[in-house]
Amino acid sequence: MQDVETQSWSGLGVGTDRQSFLQKVTEQLPDYEPALAVEAVFCALTERLPGGIVQQLLEQLSPDVRELVGRCQKRGDAPEKLDRDDFYLHVANHLNADIENVRLVLHGVFAALHSQITEAESEKVVSQLPDYIKGTWLAARRGVDKPY
């Protein structure tokens, strides 16, 4: 089978289509259903980030990738002050995964998200993240090896 590189979509970011995005997630997280992993992480981020940042992030995704995370609804305008355990538990419960694997899941989805958004958008997101997530976001952006 021949590898075909999908061209960038024409939005603000450099994102590609749903299939290419999910393939990037699968490459990072072969033991997880990629669409569910994306939804789990994005729903947790939606609760943690301000609404304006979430909207800007969504706008950088191609329309068919946006559909993956469209079910994630913010419960209020202000971000929740989830501590590390609550955030990780949110992702683990959504994904039905062991909490020990959440950092790996975050890294994999973040790496795929970085392939979709601009550097400037990444900087906006990281400026709003707590330290316990910020390191994983930055490691995924720099292409640092995923945690084990």
Give residue 74's pLDDT. Answer: 63
Other C-beta atoms closer than 10 Å to the C-beta of 24 total 19
In the structure, what pLDDT confidence band is assigned to residue 8 with cuts at 50, 70 and 90? very low
Domains identified in the chain and CATH numbers: 18-70+81-142 (1.10.490.110)
Q: Identify whether the C-beta of residue 36 lies closer than 8 Å to the C-beta of residue 108.
A: no
Amino acid at 96: N
pLDDT of residue 2: 40
pTM: 0.83
Q: Residues 103-117: what's their mean pLDDT?
A: 91
Give the model's pLDDT for residue 127: 93
CB 115 within 8 A of CB 14: yes
How many residues comprise the chain? Answer: 148
CA distance 80 to 31: 29
DSSP summary character for residue 146: P
Instruction: Please choose, from the candidates 81, 86, 80, 143, the residue with its C-alpha nearest in 3D space to the C-alpha of residue 111.
Output: 143
| pLDDT > 70 fraction of the chain, expressed in percent and rounded | 81
Tens of pLDDT, residue by residue over 39-91, are: 999 999 988 888 888 888 888 888 888 888 877 766 555 556 778 888 999 99
Q: What pLDDT score was predicted for residue 47?
A: 85
Q: What is the CA radius of gyration of the chain?
A: 14
Whether residue 82 contacts residue 48, with contact meaning beta carbons closer than 8 Å, is answered with yes
For 84, the token pair is: 């590390």
Longest dimension (CA), the chain: 47
